[in-house]
Amino acid sequence: MPPRIFGLENEYGLIFSPNGRVYLPMEKILGYIFEGLIPNSWPSNAFLCNGARFYQDTGCHPEYSTPECDHLRDLVIHDKAGERLLEACLPMAEKRLREEGLIGEIYIFKNNTDSMGNTYGCHENYLMRRDLDFWKITEQLIPFFVTRQIFAGAGKVLKVSGRTHFFLSQRAQHIHEKTSSSTTSSRSIINTRDEPHADAEKYRRLHIIVGDSNMSELATYLKVGTTAVVLSMIEEGFTVKGMELEDPVKAIRDISRDPTLKKRVRLEDGREWTALEIQMTYWERAQAYLAALGSSADETTRDLIEYWGDVLQKLATNPMELAQELDWVIKKNVMDSFIARKNCGWDDPRVALMDLQYHDVKRNRGLYYLLERQDVVERLATEEEIQRAMTVPPQSTRAKVRGDFIKFAKEKNRSYTVDWTYLKLNGYWEETILCMDPFSSSNKRVDELIAGVAVSHR
């Protein structure tokens, strides 16, 4: 694949369970969470030493945006680092509660829906070329995104028309449009917001809001990696024709409701295909793209396309073979076992509780992490890599410049202002330093600034 910048934004669910009748506004609970990462005097919107952004999003959700990554494995690691940073905030937040005479537990969930039917997102970002026709590319991507949930879905137990069903995706039932500039009022498969956070003449940002938050590292790897491959091959002229869906919004919901993967959706030309058949078409085109790359294809691209094909084959024959790799399969496998053991139904409240507990980021409490400790889910990253990513940015992108700058400013106890594309050390050399190249891991002006401040403090 050509060089590309990736990023993930995860909004987290937040619950306070008091041991008593006293209830605190969620804004106050969130404030305690922020104190674990950001001093009290700072706003609830800040960049961290690892280059990531941590802030409060609409609906009082803590949101973690990974730093810019140009390697897929780095993205998986930094996505997990966001979970660890939020988990690390819990002891301090609960201590602050006790100081106010309140006792209770705070729960943070990496999921996409709450018990009231509200949804919050996992947004994906892919830097793409500006000179290509955005709309032609998105039209070819929509069938891919509609069907990608068969391996990228997080699974959801949901009651519809009085009956409880297991769905592939948490997000699919909340999608209303093919494309839209909004992320809330008219959620779409592809968001058209044009904020590249880079040189706008060269780049555009593909902003995807249709996907689920994943606990499985392999599901994240596959979700982002296959999207990057498909985007690259379309950019290079390996188009995918004839897959246009008659009604993509209906299709994404219908596919989500069928964990047997047998549901057929109607294409514009009248044919009816399963999600697996559509995904296989994209995979076969990716195989042709890989062959055209020849020896220039990097190892990650080769590994990813091979793994994608293997996953599709297993989904076609026996999805439960993936019960250590894909979130919806892991979750359904555990629930099927519980239902059989307890002789209960899908409407048992304990099953709904398992659905939620799967996404708890506190590792000694969350169901996913219980399975991880039992070595029944596969991993991609090591814990050492994740712990390092909590404080150290990727070393090959703009995030390194930002992270090093923030670390330096904190060490010198200097006030600063930071965004994705600029840095400024307040009160000294008031020049705003632009960082418009997300691929650049160094910046001469930042180096001069840091050197100048260091000399002045001798």
* Digitized pLDDT (tens) for each residue of the chain, 458 residues in all: 789 999 999 999 999 888 866 677 788 888 888 887 765 444 456 899 999 999 887 667 899 999 999 999 999 999 999 999 999 999 988 888 888 888 889 999 999 998 788 899 899 999 999 999 999 999 999 999 999 999 999 999 999 888 999 999 999 999 998 887 765 656 888 988 889 999 999 999 999 999 999 999 999 999 999 999 999 999 999 999 899 999 999 999 999 999 999 999 999 999 999 999 999 999 999 999 999 999 999 999 999 999 999 999 999 999 999 999 999 999 999 999 999 999 999 999 999 999 999 999 999 999 999 999 999 999 999 999 999 999 999 999 999 999 999 999 888 888 889 999 999 988 866 778 999 999 999 999 888 877 876 555 55
Count how many domains the chain has. Answer: 2
Both 132 and 265 in one domain: the answer is yes
Both 355 and 208 in one domain: the answer is yes
pTM of the model: 0.95
Question: CA 174 to CA 189: how far, in whole Å?
Answer: 10
Both 355 and 446 in one domain: the answer is no
**Which strands make up the sheet holding 53-57, listed edge to edge?**
45-47, 53-57, 61-65, 6-11, 122-129, 203-208, 188-191, 177-180
57 is an active site residue: yes
Both 268 and 235 in one domain: the answer is yes
Residues 251, 219, 67: CA angle, nearest 5 degrees: 105
Q: Is residue 75 part of a domain?
A: yes
Both 164 and 21 in one domain: the answer is yes
pLDDT at residue number 323: 98
pLDDT at residue number 59: 66
> Is the Cα dihedral 271, 276, 278, 281 positive or negative?
negative
Q: Is residue 299 part of a domain?
A: yes
Both 346 and 409 in one domain: the answer is no
Both 97 and 224 in one domain: the answer is yes
Q: Is residue 317 part of a domain?
A: yes
The amino acid at residue 207 is H
Both 350 and 437 in one domain: the answer is no
Domain limit, last residue, from 379, 410, 439: 379
Q: Is residue 118 part of a domain?
A: yes
**Dihedral pair phi/psi, residue 86, rounded to 5°:** -70, -40
CA distances from 24 to 32, 40, 81, 415 (A): 11, 19, 28, 32
Which CATH number belongs to the domain containing residue 25 in this structure? Answer: 3.30.590
Both 434 and 298 in one domain: the answer is no
Q: For 48-67, b where at least 16 C-beta lie within 10 A, e where not — what string?
A: bbbbbbbbbbeeebbbbbbb
- DSSP assigned state of 52: -
- Residue ranges of the alpha helices (H) in 52-131? 72-99
Domain limit, last residue, from 328, 352, 379: 379
For residue 428, the enclosing domain spans 395-456
Question: CA 407 to CA 410: how far, in whole Å?
Answer: 5
Active-site annotation holder among 57, 74, 327, 355: 57
Q: Report yes or no: 156 and 113 within 8 Å, Cβ to Cβ.
A: yes
Q: Is residue 389 part of a domain?
A: no
Both 152 and 35 in one domain: the answer is yes
Both 355 and 258 in one domain: the answer is yes
Both 16 and 41 in one domain: the answer is yes
